[in-house]
Chain A
Amino acid sequence: MTATVVDALAPVATTIDGRVPPWHGFGTLWLRRLQVTTKTASGIIGQLMTPVLWILVVGPALADSLGSFSPGVDYYTFIAVGQVAFLIPFTAMFSGINVIVDKEFGVTREMLVAPVRRAAIPLANAAAVLTVTFVQVAIIVGLGRLRGAHFHTSLSRLPWFLIATALLCLTMYGVAETLALRIGRQEAFGPLIPAIGVTPYFLSGALYPLSVLPDGIQQVGFLLPWTHAVALMRYGLMDGTNPRLDDIWHLGSDPLMAVLSAAVLAAYAALMLTIAVRTFKRTTLA
C-alpha cells in the first residue's frame, strides 16, 4: 500500500459534516434515476409508440372521417391534447418497475444506509419521472403541431397545461410507487400498468366530451384525476376553444373552474405522494 493510498483512506471532511440538509442527496438520486431511465431507451420509446401513432395516423384519420362533434372544435387538436393525458399515467406507472428492480437488486438498501433522508429517495425518483414526462410531452405536442394541431396558448394559459402535466404525473407516480412497493414482484405489477395507467383514460373526456357518456359513468369520470388534467390541458393549450371544464363543474367561469380542477389535481398529487413516501418508509424500515 502506498502513501497515497493511506492518505486517500483517511477520514475526510464532507459537505454534510454538520447537520444534514433536508435536500441532501435529492439531486444525486434524481440524476441517478434519470440515467437509469435513459439507459433503457426501449422503455421510453415503447411508452411513446401509442401516442405517436395516434398523433400521426389515428388522430388525423378519425378527424377526417368523423369531422367535429361541435362547431368551432377542431377534433384533431382535441384528441392530440388527449394523447398527452394518455402518455403521462402510462410513463408514471411504467416507472414502478424501476422501483421493484431497485428493491430486488438491493440498490435501495445501499441508498438507505447513505446519509440521505428516507423521503428523498421516492421524491427524487418522482422528480426524475417528471423530467422524463416533460420531454415526452414536448415530443407529442411538437409532433401534433407538425401534423396540424391548432394549439393556441399564451404566457397566462401555458402554466395551466404545465401544472396539469406535472400534477397528473406526480399523482400517478405516487400510485405506481405505492403499488410497486406493496406488490414487490414485476410479474404481478406488470399487468397493472395498462389496467391502472390506461383504462381510466377512456372515461376522462380525452377522446370525446364527458357529456356524451351515460349517467353514472360520467360521475365516475368526474372523480378521476385524468378528467381534470385533460380539461386543464385544453384550457392551457386550446385558448379560444371550449375546454369542457363546464362538463365537470357547471359553473360558467373557465378561470374559476380551472382553479378548482387544479386544486383537485394538487390534492390528488399530495395525497398519493404522501402515501408513497409513507409506504416507502414503512417497507424499508423493519
Chain B
Amino acid sequence: MTETAFQATESLRERSRYGNDPVRVRDLRKSYPNGVAALRGVSLAAYEGEIFGLLGPNGAGKTTTVGVLTTLVRPTAGEALVDGRDVVVDPLGVRRRIGVVFQDSVLDNEFSGVDNLRLHARLFGLPRDIADARIDALLRLMDLYQRADDGVRTYSGGMRRRLEIARALLAGPRILFLDEPTVGLDPEVRNEIWRLIADLRQREGVTIVLTTHYLEEAELVCDRVGILHAGVLVALDTPRRLVDALGEQIIDVRVLSDAAPVAIALTQTGVGSHAPLVASGSVTMASNAPSGDLADVLGSLAGAHAQVVGTAVRRATLNDVYLHLTGGATDHPPAPDGDPR
C-alpha cells in the first residue's frame, strides 16, 4: 500500500503543478478569544484525488484546520481555498463542494436512515430524481439498504458511520473531509471504514482530507500526511518519505531507572540518524546503520549499563516519525490490531 500510495502521489504532484489543488492553505492562523493560538502559520495543499492525512496530538490544530476548511471556524489570518473558493469570501460556494464526516455522530435521531439522506439531498439542492437514484446507490454501497427505513437510533456505531459517509458523498463533493472517521469504533468496523475510504479514492477519485489518531492506519491509507504540532506543520510528505528521512531502523532500549545516561551513551555510539527520544522507562533512536552493527552496539550498551533490561531493533514506522517530530507526545490511542486494509 505504501508503495502504491507513493507512486500515486508522484502522479498527483505532477498534476498539482497546474495549480488547481482542491485544498490550498497558506499561512493559516487562528487564535481563539481566550488567547489560545490553535494555528500558527500553516501552509499545505491536498492534491486532486489523494487521501491527505492530518496527524498530530490533541490540541495540535487538526480539527481547527478542518474547521476552517469546512467554514465552521473563521481564520484569524492567512488564506484557505477549497476547490478554488475562499472559505471566508465564499463559504456557501465551499460548502456546495464538500462532504463532511464529523468525529461525533451527527445523524438526525428523529428520522430513518433514508430520511436523513433525503434531508441532506434537499439542503444540497439535488433534483428529486437524481437524489433518489443516488440515495439508492449509496445505501447499497454502504450495505444499509435493508435498514434504510429504520430509525437511526437503532443503528450500530458502524452503521451510523457508514450512513454519515453516504450522506457526505450524496451531493457528489469534490472534497470529502473526515474528522477522526474511525475513532470509537471496534477494530473490525475500523478496518471496514478504512477499506471503504480507500475504495472511494481508488474508484471515484474523490479527494479526501482526514484526521486520525491511528498512525498505522494513516500510514497504510494516506498518500501524504501533514503532521501538526502546537499549531505548526512540522512535516508534510508521503509516509514512506517521512519514515525514510527518519531512518530505516529504530533502536528500542528499555531501562529500569534513569534513562538519561543510556541516551548519552547511545548518542556517543554514532549510529543514530537523529537524537534519541527519551521517555519514562525507554530510549528510542532512529538509525540507518546495518542490523548487524546495531546488534553489536546494543550488546555492548547492555553490558555497560546495568539499568538496561531489554533492547530491540525494528523497522521505523510513521508512529516513530510522529513521536520524534512531536517530542514524544503520546496522547493518541495505541495502535489497533489487525490490518486496516
Chain A interface (Cβ < 8 Å from any Cβ of B): 1, 4-12, 14-17, 20, 24-25, 28-29, 32, 35-36, 39, 105-107, 109-117, 284-286
Contacts and interface: CB of A to CB of B under 8 A. Distances in A.
Contacts of B185: none
Interface stretch (B134-142, B212-220, B311-319, B332-340): B134-142
Contact of B171 (A14, A28, A117): A14
A285 B87 CA distance: 12
A11 B172 contact: yes
A15 B120 CA distance: 14
B125 A115 contact: yes
A115 B73 contact: no
A106 B92 contact: no
B133 A114 contact: no
B70 A107 contact: no
Contacts of B106: 105-107, 109-110
A15 B108 contact: no
A10 B111 CA distance: 26
Given A9-B204, A115-B96, A32 B119 contact: yes
Interface stretch (B4-12, B97-105, B265-273, B301-309): B97-105
B74 A286 contact: yes
A116 B110 CA distance: 21
B199 A14 contact: no
B44 interface: no
Interface of B: 32, 64, 67, 70-74, 92-93, 95-96, 98, 100, 102, 104-111, 119-120, 122-127, 130, 133-134, 136-138, 140-141, 169, 171-172, 174, 199, 203-204
Nearest to A286: B73
A115 B92 contact: yes
Nearest to B137: A8
Given A1-B141, A8-B137, A28-B119, A286 B32 contact: yes
B123 A111 contact: yes
Contacts of A115: 92-93, 95-96, 123-125
A24 B96 CA distance: 12
A28 B123 contact: yes
Nearest to A38: B110
A12 B171 contact: yes
Contact of A8 (B95, B100, B133): B133
A113 B70 contact: yes
B123 A8 contact: no
B125 A15 contact: yes
A44 to B, nearest CB: 14
Contacts of B74: 285-286
Given A28-B123, A107-B108, A285-B72, A113 B137 contact: no
- Kindly name the residue among B71, B95, B110 whose own CB sees the greatest number of chain A CB atoms within 10 A: B110
Contacts of B169: 9
A286 to B, nearest CB: 4
Given A8-B138, A111-B123, A112-B71, 17 more contacts: A1-B203, A5-B141, A8-B133, A8-B134, A8-B137, A9-B169, A12-B134, A14-B125, A15-B127, A16-B96, A25-B122, A106-B104, A109-B72, A113-B72, A115-B95, A117-B92, A284-B72
Given A20-B92, A105-B109, A110-B106, A14 B73 contact: no
The 7 closest A-B pairs by CB, nearest first: A106-B106, A8-B137, A11-B172, A16-B125, A15-B125, A14-B125, A114-B123
A21 to B, nearest CB: 9
Nearest to A32: B119
